[in-house]
Structure 1
């Protein structure tokens, strides 16, 4: 039963559970804990399918008289587990390579087409009338980019809020969070996944950056900046200040504090999806596997 149970858990954590949680608004109250929760769901789904494949492989070699339908069912579970694990490593390589190349090219273009801000040398100014603000994260060579239209549209406090928002993205490496979700998203075949974890992670990192900016400038300047930049396009591979305007404005209307029950709920779900399948299914299977391998 272990392969079937782990396989069902993996599918549940990849499809219906994320789809249901994506409708909830409470994770937005505690974005950092929400990120942990979504990462735990995605990782637990990968681990469950991998465990299903491993336990199936052991069953196929240890059962002396398997029935044809048992063989077919276990072979299907094994195939899905192998596919997910292979796609995970392929996705990790592809996401890293594609993102690194895209950002390197974008940094070159920004350096060619922009000018350093006089008072803020780390900020690059693009000669464009459309309000735009985004960052190009990097381990050593990040860029914060704003357009001339942004400078014209924002007052000093709102501009500071935008810059603090982008600096928070760079400082806490939100790009790595999104890349991890991209890898986990690609690992599952399209028919066995939902876009909810990837989509929710994009919203939550924006809320985390908003929290960092609001602590310095307050809510009103940040709200004005969000309105001015609403709908602006962010280049692929960058993190922008104009996305998710409605959700962010709604949250700015709430007190600047993390709701403890939202944090506790998100962390509890994270612990349950990672610990319970391991304790209830994986550990007993590992004990059984050791007995089989040792001839017990």
Structure 2
């Protein structure tokens, strides 16, 4: 009976309090790949714990005969609760995915109507400097304004385009969509927006890192300053995206931070292993008995 309680408490902890606490570790952004792995492990562990709590309670009541009527009732209720959690996840995934794909499809259609294509980039006649990408399964778009072309140097423009190509190549849109699904699926009194916000920052940091690997760090920094304040449309990923100040700080830091990276990976593995062990271990013990 203790395992379902532990799993339920772990699900609540990993959905709200732990992400809020983890988001305060701002230096974690300096190792963005390890940080992303940690956030993904936390989210997956929360789902496993939430589903495992109901499953373990149901199997605990039905594992050892004789099975009383009360045990059967508890098992049915626990199974129903598990199905509700799963249904909320699937419904959230359907709604979030449908809304995002519809939004992006419409935006791509509008861009195609009003923009001219130059070197595979859609150029809008606009006085505000903007640069963003619109992901899509059947065709993505990288969009810049005419003002962006005139105000950025060739090196700066190249860094910005590399940033956007990195978003599309790594499918950062799917990463963000997964966290949006989880945030929407968990009840408001449980879910924390910290995870979603931090992942939004991390995908930008990862794209920044990819851009400077093939370009000039100072060029990207200058481009980000020029593009500051230009918000990307909903559903797209923009160069001047989340937490520009934090991204500039990370870009200026070129240290490897290997110890922090290893620590984050080990913590990610431990967090993911915990609900797995809590679910599997009682079953293995029961089989041995």
The answer to whether the 8 Å contact 1:49/1:80 transfers is: no
Q: How many aligned positions are there?
A: 284
> RMSD of the TM alignment (CA)?
2.3
8 A contact 1:85–1:187 mirrored in 2: no
Which residue of structure 2 lines up, in the alignment, with residue 260 of structure 1?
Answer: 258
- What is the deviation of 1:236? 1.1
1:11 deviates by 0.9
Alpha-carbon distance between aligned partners in 2 of 1:246 and 1:81, rounded to the nearest angstrom: 42
| Counterparts of 2:14 and 2:256, CA distance in 1 | 26
Aligned partner (choices 229, 234, 239) of residue 232 of structure 2: 234
Give the alignment partner of residue 193 of structure 1, picking from 191, 194, 200.
191
Residue 278 of structure 1 deviates from its aligned partner by 1.9
Q: In 2, are the aligned partners of 1:33 and 1:267 still within 8 Å (CA)? A: yes
> Which residue of the partner structure matches residue 8 of structure 2?
7
CA distance in 1 between partners of 2:69 and 2:109 (Å): 61
Deviation at 1:283, TM superposition (A): 1.6
Taking structure 1 as reference, are residues 189 and 289 closer, same or farther at Cα in structure 2, changes over 3 Å only? farther
| CA–CA distance in structure 2, aligned partners of residues 93 and 250 of structure 1 | 37
2:189 aligned counterpart, secondary structure: helix
- Which residue is equivalent to 1:224? 222
Deviation at 1:82, TM superposition (A): 3.7
- Note if 1:202 corresponds to 2:200: yes
- When residues 227 and 76 of structure 1 are mapped into structure 2, their CA distance, relative to the original with a 3 A threshold, is farther
Q: Using the alignment, how far apart are the partners of 1:166 and 1:208 within structure 2?
A: 11
1:20-53 deviation digits (Å, cap 9, x = unpaired): 1000023201111111111110110010010101
TM-score (norm 1): 0.88
Gaps of 5+ in 2: none
Counterpart in the other structure of 1:136? 134
Task: Tell me, in whole angstroms, the C-alpha distance in 2 between the residues paired with 1:154 and 1:45.
Answer: 44
Offset, 1:95: 1.9
Superposition map of 1:105-254 within 5 A: 105-117=106-118, 120=119, 122-243=120-241, 244-254=243-253
**Which aligned pairs between 1:5-44 and structure 2 lie closer than 5 A?**
5-44=6-45
Q: Which digits, 9 at most, give the CA deviation of each residue in 1:199-228, with x for residues without a partner?
A: 111100100110111122221110111111
Secondary structure at 2:142's aligned position in 1?
Answer: strand
